[in-house]
């Protein structure tokens, strides 16, 4: 499923109207009817059916027009309906004005929230009296920036009322492109996205304000998003198949052997953080690798013997202390030369000169590499400038959490979170790497511009080691021959799904630990 920006939606909308001659009024009719049907479903789920009083909050744009169509259909379904215009309905134009006139002729009761020129008072408390739920048709994809008055006050009053809200297209106050929310922003139980889901509905904090997102077709011909060049998708089993040609689970042929499924080298873990390496290596095994080797500085390797019988230990020459700082990059590159993928970073620690060390390593390794955790911070220190990234022919996937992304991009964490899709995509294109920006609704961005927003996972996965597991999974998939975007998208989806399964098998998600995720793969 595609995720669109406001500008993309406007372009698709315009082409539908101009090129195919489908009138705006028809799209609006379909939109409003779809919202009415979802609203009735909502009331039905609350055990109320048509015994429900809806108040439609209508703005002056086409979002408001959709709301008026919705009001008409709710009325025809037998619900009680009234309209509260945010500002004078005289300011409506075009298709929205047409709906205003129809609603008036039908005698749908209407009031105006703020009409200062008529002595309107926005502090009046009785706006929502007698209604059971609200339809938010105040602002849609044509809005920009913080809602202005009287919208801000009406939104705040609606939130304060505590009434359930069904939002038209987007909750008013939400940035449709980024998921940022204004101080005044509707909190909807459900949002009926028209034609396509807007990106902001699937990025926090917007996602929490959108509630359940239902996408409804409104008459825009199939394939228009693709034609308009939309290349951001929701990540689920359907899009893995449709956009990347990957089936879930991946096929495993009968006539195969361990050599068929790749050999992954995991260079991770150190004296006090060996668990990070073990989790990555175990995750790589559970994700289907034929062989997994765990690289360790030679002096540290003996102490790790026997931890996991399926994992091979690979001792890499050091100077006797068992520390990564003593392992020459060329030695580790040599160890990786027989592998189909390298995972580097989790629990490795930091040391003086580690940035140059990592760059030298990455430039020597011919296999695809997954870079995570400490190795990302090494890069942030050494390679922040454009062009300073290691020059590699094989794919590189990086898996930063927001803190690591902030360091990589030279931003603060809030700046990083403001437009996660835009940032991940920009970073991927600039440095030629595939970016997995972790956090709720993880973003996967490819240097070619394609991006996916994940749908799986839960807050129980906010636990130490969950990222190490993800690194191992994606590394494993790279070793099995998936390309960087395929491995990253598939791995992120699977990791979240395993987390969801593991959480569901426990009394509460909070007790989930990283090993549970690995075992649930």
Ligand X SMILES: NC(=O)C1=CN([C@@H]2O[C@H](COP(=O)(O)OP(=O)(O)OC[C@H]3O[C@@H](n4cnc5c(N)ncnc54)[C@H](O)[C@@H]3O)[C@@H](O)[C@H]2O)[C@H](O)CC1
Strands 451-454 and 443-445: antiparallel
Largest CA distance in the chain: 88
Q: How far apart are the first and last CA of the chain?
A: 25
What tokens appear for 312 in the block? 């091979």
Q: Which two tokens stand for residue 103?
A: 């609603």
* Span near ligand X by CB under 6 A; candidates 140-148, 332-340, 376-384, 451-459: 140-148
Q: Answer yes or no: is 65 a known binding residue.
A: yes
Tell me: does residue 31 bind ligand X (CB under 6 A): yes
194 binds, among ligand X, K ion, none (CB under 5 to 8 A by kind): ligand X
**What does the DSSP 8-state code read for residue 184?**
S
Task: Decide whether 168 or 492 has the Cβ nearer to K ion.
Answer: 168
Quick one: residue 75, left, alpha or beta (phi over 0 = left, psi -120 to 50 = alpha)? alpha
Single residue of 11, 36, 43, 61 touching ligand X by CB under 6 A: 61
Verify binding: residue 66, K ion, rule CB under 5 A.
no
| Residue 175 binds K ion, judged by CB under 5 A | no
Q: Least separation, in Å, of the C-beta of 382 and K ion?
A: 46
Question: Which CB sits closer to K ion, 207 or 361?
Answer: 207
Number of residues that bind K ion (CB under 5 A): 4
168 binds K ion (CB under 5 A): yes
Residues within window 112-141 making contact with K ion, judged by CB under 5 A? 136
Q: How is 348-381 classified by DSSP, letter by letter? A: ----TTHHHHHHHHHHH--S-EEE-THHHHHHHH
Question: If binding is defined by CB under 6 A, does position 139 make contact with ligand X?
Answer: yes
The option from K ion, ligand X, none interacting with 172 (CB < 5 to 8 A, set by class) reads K ion
H or E element, residue 409? helix 402-409
Q: Does 56 bind ligand X (CB under 6 A)?
A: no
**Region 172-211 residues binding ligand X, contact defined as CB under 6 A:** 194-195
- State which residue, 45 or 144, has the beta carbon closest to ligand X: 144
| Rounded Cα gap, residues 56 and 160, in angstroms | 16
Contact between 232 and ligand X by CB under 6 A: the answer reads no
Give the C-alpha separation, 235 to 452, whole Å: 5
From the list 57-65, 204-212, 259-267, 472-480, the region that binds ligand X by CB under 6 A is 57-65
Residue 392 known to bind ligand: no
Specify the 3-state DSSP secondary structure of 64: helix
Output the six-digit token pair for 105.
Answer: 């002729």
Dump the DSSP string for 431-444. HT-EEEE-SSS-EE
26 or 513: CB nearest ligand X? 26
User: What token pair was written down for 400?
Assistant: 């930063």
Q: In the bound complex, what is the minimum distance in angstroms from residue 63's beta carbon to ligand X? A: 3
Q: Is 227 in the site for ligand X (CB under 6 A)?
A: no
504 binds ligand X (CB under 6 A): no
Q: Which does 136 bind (CB under 5 to 8 A by kind): ligand X, K ion, none?
A: K ion
Phi, psi values for residue 418, rounded to 5°: -65, -40
| Contact window for ligand X (CB under 6 A) among 62-70, 203-211, 223-231, 380-388 | 62-70
- Contact status: 38 vs K ion (CB under 5 A): no
Phi-psi region of 217 (alpha: psi -120 to 50; beta: other; left: phi over 0): beta
Nearer to K ion, 182 or 428 (CB): 182
The residue (of 152 and 466) whose beta carbon lies closer to ligand X is: 152
* Cα 387 from Cα 291, distance rounded (Å): 34
Do residues 114 and 124 touch, judged by C-beta distance below 8 A? no
How is residue 390 written in tokens?
A: 């290691």
The answer to whether the beta carbons of residues 85 and 56 sit under 8 Å apart is no
Binding site for K ion (CB under 5 A): 136, 167-168, 172
The annotated binding site for K(+) is made up of: 63, 136, 172
What is the binding site for ligand X (CB under 6 A)?
9, 13, 27-28, 31, 59-66, 139-148, 151, 168-169, 194-195, 218
């Amino acid at each position: 499923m595609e995720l669109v920006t406001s500008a993309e939606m406007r372009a698709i909308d315009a082409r539908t109207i101009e090129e195919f001659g489908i009138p705006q009024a028809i799209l609006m009719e379909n939109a409003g009817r779809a919202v009415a049907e979802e609203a009735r479903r909502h009331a039905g789920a609350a055990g109320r059916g048509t015994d429900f009083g809806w108040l439609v909050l209508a703005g002056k744009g086409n979002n408001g027009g959709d709301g008026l169509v919705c009001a008409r259909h709710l009325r025809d379904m037998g619900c009680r309906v009234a309209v509260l215009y945010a500002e004078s309905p005289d300011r409506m134009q075009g298709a929205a004005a047409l709906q205003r006139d129809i609603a008036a002729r039908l005698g749908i009761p209407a009031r105006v929230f703020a009409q200062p020129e008529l002595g309107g008072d926005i502090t009046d408390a009785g706006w929502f009296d007698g209604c059971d739920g609200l339809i938010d048709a105040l602002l849609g994809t044509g809005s920009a920036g913080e809602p202005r008055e009287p919208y801000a006050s009406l939104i705040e009053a609606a939130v304060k009322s505590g009434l359930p809200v069904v939002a038209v297209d987007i909750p008013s106050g939400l940035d449709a492109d980024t998921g940022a929310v204004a101080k005044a922003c509707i909190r909807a139980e459900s949002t009926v996205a028209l034609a396509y889901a807007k990106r902001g509905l699937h990025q926090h904090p917007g996602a929490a304000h959108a509630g359940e997102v239902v996408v409804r077709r409104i008459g825009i011909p199939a394939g228009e998003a693709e034609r308009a060049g939309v290349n951001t998708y929701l990540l689920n089993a359907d899009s893995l198949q449709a956009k990347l040609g990957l089936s879930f689970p991946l096929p495993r042929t009968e006539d195969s052997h361990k050599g068929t499924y790749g050999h992954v080298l995991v260079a991770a873990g150190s004296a006090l953080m060996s668990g990070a390496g073990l989790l990555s290596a175990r995750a790589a095994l559970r994700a289907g690798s034929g062989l997994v080797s765990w690289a360790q500085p030679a002096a540290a390797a003996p102490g790790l013997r026997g931890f996991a019988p399926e994992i091979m230990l690979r001792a890499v020459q050091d100077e006797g202390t068992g520390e990564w700082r003593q392992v020459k990059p060329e030695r580790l590159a040599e160890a990786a030369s027989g592998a189909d993928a390298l995972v580097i970073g989790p629990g490795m620690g930091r040391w003086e000169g580690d940035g140059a060390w990592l760059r030298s390593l990455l430039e020597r390794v011919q296999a695809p590499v997954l870079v995570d955790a400490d190795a990302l911070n090494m890069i942030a220190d050494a390679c922040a400038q454009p062009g300073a990234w290691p020059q590699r022919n094989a794919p590189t996937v990086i898996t930063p959490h927001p803190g690591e992304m902030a360091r990589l991009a030279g931003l603060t964490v809030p700046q990083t979170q403001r437009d996660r899709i835009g940032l991940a995509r920009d970073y991927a294109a600039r440095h030629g790497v595939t970016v997995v920006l972790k956090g709720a609704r993880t973003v996967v961005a490819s240097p070619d511009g394609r991006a996916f927003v994940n749908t799986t996972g839960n807050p129980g996965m906010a636990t130490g080691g969950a990222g190490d597991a993800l690194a191992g999974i994606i590394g494993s998939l790279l070793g099995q021959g998936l390309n960087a975007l395929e491995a990253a998208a598939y791995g992120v989806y699977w990791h979240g799904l395993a987390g969801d399964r593991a959480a569901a098998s426990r009394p509460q998600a909070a007790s989930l630990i990283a090993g549970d995720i690995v075992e649930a793969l």
